[in-house]
């Protein structure tokens, strides 16, 4: 019985490792979620193989354990590859940004989310699935008089950008045929330093190849912008997924040194960072924190302090 359980664990782990390894051959969309979860699956496989070794010592579980640990090391390396470089001390201004997927049908928590935004101190708030805030737009406008979304340049109330700062060069884009109006661009000035703000919400990576297509379209739009860029939103994938890594490589955007887990909320710190805030140098993320309460959403929100170098 012990031998049977050990072999069964090895077979299951072998299949998972094979699926993770397909990233080195081709970005097969059907395995996209597994690629995004490589860090978590590597840990799970390693623990399972330790159990297999306890049940029965053998070459196979030991060899597979080495492979799992290699995948784990590779995951950690990937998570650091596009992290921002340390910036030398320089005069800076600061912009506080909140990004939060509040969940489209989370209507009962609309007032609480409104109050959270109003008391956040954020200069800019990017909201995904913003429908619960539709009844509260007038109250939000008392603190955030500038807006894109929920009827302002859009037909729907999905992606929304709220700002204390005037929004210039406002642009709305649809990245694919699945969801409309899921990329927003605007220019603001922070202590007279112009920069671009962008908000995004991509489809899930297992929707055929649509996410890769959407990120390619987003990269083309962002690469047409001259100057610093801040991009935030729900990518439905971790920063080690092939689609997001390709996007970061194409755009030159960088992540914080550490990205907190945002989904699913039930797992807390052990979840996956699928909501991101990226910056294009010379901007830098001074701090990145997860909101302590999801307020009924299946995502945690993020708050970042962005350092804006001054000429």
Q: What predicted TM-score, i.e. pTM, was given to this entire model? A: 0.93
Average pLDDT rounded to a whole number, residues 22-37: 86
Query: Residue 154's pLDDT band (boundaries 50, 70, 90)?
Result: very high
What per-residue confidence (pLDDT) applies to 4?
A: 73
Please tell me whether residues 170 and 234 are part of one structural domain.
Answer: yes
185: its two tokens: 């661009």
Average pLDDT rounded to a whole number, residues 183-188: 97
Query: Which CATH number fits the domain that encloses residue 262?
Result: 3.60.10.10
Model confidence over 86-120: pLDDT tens digits? 765 566 789 999 999 999 999 999 999 999 999 99
Average pLDDT rounded to a whole number, residues 252-276: 95
Please tell me whether residues 60 and 156 are part of one structural domain.
Answer: no
8: its two tokens: 């069964």
Average pLDDT rounded to a whole number, residues 181-204: 95
For residue 1, how many C-alpha atoms fall within 13 Å in the half-sphere facing its CB? 0
Please tell me whether residues 77 and 116 are part of one structural domain.
Answer: no
**Backbone φ/ψ region at 194: left (φ over 0), alpha (ψ -120 to 50), beta:** beta
Model confidence over 56-97: pLDDT tens digits? 888 888 999 999 999 999 999 999 999 998 765 566 789 999
Task: Determine the Cα–Cα distance for residues 23 and 205; give it in Å rounded to an integer.
Answer: 14
- The reply to whether 181 falls in a domain is yes
Average pLDDT rounded to a whole number, residues 266-287: 95
- Whether 195 has a pLDDT exceeding 80, the answer reads yes
What per-residue confidence (pLDDT) applies to 27?
A: 74
Pick from 20, 26, 29: nearest CA to 78: 20
Split into its structural domains, the chain has a count of 2
- Our measurement of the distance from residue 145's CA atom to the centroid of its chain's CA atoms, rounded to an integer in Å, reads 27
Please tell me whether residues 218 and 284 are part of one structural domain.
Answer: yes
Query: Residue 209's pLDDT band (boundaries 50, 70, 90)?
Result: confident
What per-residue confidence (pLDDT) applies to 47?
A: 95
What per-residue confidence (pLDDT) applies to 89?
A: 56
- Domain that includes residue 179, residue range: 92-309
- Residues whose CB is less than 8 angstroms from the CB of residue 151 and which lie 6 or more positions away in sequence, other chains included: 137, 157
- The reply to whether 39 falls in a domain is yes
Contacts 24+ apart (CB under 8 A), 113-116: 113/295, 114/139, 114/140, 116/291, 116/293, 116/295
Q: Which of 21-30, 154-163, 193-202 has the lowest mean pLDDT?
A: 21-30
* Contact assessment for residue 195 and residue 282, using Cβ atoms and an 8 Å cutoff: no
The last residue of one of the domains, among 29, 61, 81, is 81
Please tell me whether residues 267 and 151 are part of one structural domain.
Answer: yes
Please tell me whether residues 195 and 260 are part of one structural domain.
Answer: yes
- The reply to whether 30 falls in a domain is yes
What are the φ and ψ backbone dihedral angles of 270, each rounded to 5 degrees?
A: -90, 5
Higher pLDDT, 311 or 192: 192
Q: Across all residues in the chain, what is the average pLDDT?
A: 93
Please tell me whether residues 112 and 164 are part of one structural domain.
Answer: yes
- The reply to whether 87 falls in a domain is no
Higher pLDDT, 191 or 197: 197
What per-residue confidence (pLDDT) applies to 208?
A: 77
Please tell me whether residues 127 and 204 are part of one structural domain.
Answer: yes
- The reply to whether 86 falls in a domain is no
């Amino acid at each position: 019985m012990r031998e049977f359980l050990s072999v069964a664990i090895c077979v299951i782990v072998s299949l998972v490792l094979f699926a993770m390894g397909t990233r080195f051959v081709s970005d097969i969309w059907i395995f996209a979620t597994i690629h995004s979860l490589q860090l978590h699956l590597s840990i799970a496989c390693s623990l399972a193989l330790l159990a297999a070794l306890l049940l029965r010592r053998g070459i196979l579980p030991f060899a597979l354990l080495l492979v799992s640990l290699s995948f784990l090391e590779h995951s950690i390396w990937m998570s650091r590859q596009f992290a921002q470089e340390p910036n030398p001390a320089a005069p800076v201004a600061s912009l506080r940004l909140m990004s939060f997927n509040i969940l489209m049908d989370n209507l009962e928590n609309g007032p609480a989310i409104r109050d959270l935004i109003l008391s956040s101190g954020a200069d800019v708030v990017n909201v995904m699935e913003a429908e619960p805030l539709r009844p509260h737009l007038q109250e939000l406008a008392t603190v955030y008089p500038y807006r894109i979304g929920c009827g302002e340049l859009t037909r729907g109330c999905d992606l929304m950008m709220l700002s204390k700062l005037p929004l210039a060069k406002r642009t709305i884009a649809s990245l694919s045929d699945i969801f409309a109006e899921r990329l927003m661009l605007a220019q603001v000035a922070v202590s007279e330093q112009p920069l671009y703000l962008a908000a995004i919400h991509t489809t899930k990576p297992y929707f055929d190849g649509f996410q890769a297509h959407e990120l390619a379209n987003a990269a083309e739009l962002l690469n047409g912008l001259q100057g610093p860029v801040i991009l935030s939103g729900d990518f439905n994938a971790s920063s080690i997924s092939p689609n997001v890594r390709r996007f970061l490589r194409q755009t030159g955007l960088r992540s914080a040194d550490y990205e907190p887990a945002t989904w699913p909320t039930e797992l807390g710190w052990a979840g996956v960072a699928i909501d991101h805030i990226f910056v294009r140098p010379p901007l830098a993320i001074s701090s990145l924190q997860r909101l302590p309460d999801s307020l009924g959403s299946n995502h945690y929100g993020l708050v970042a302090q962005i350092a804006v170098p001054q000429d």
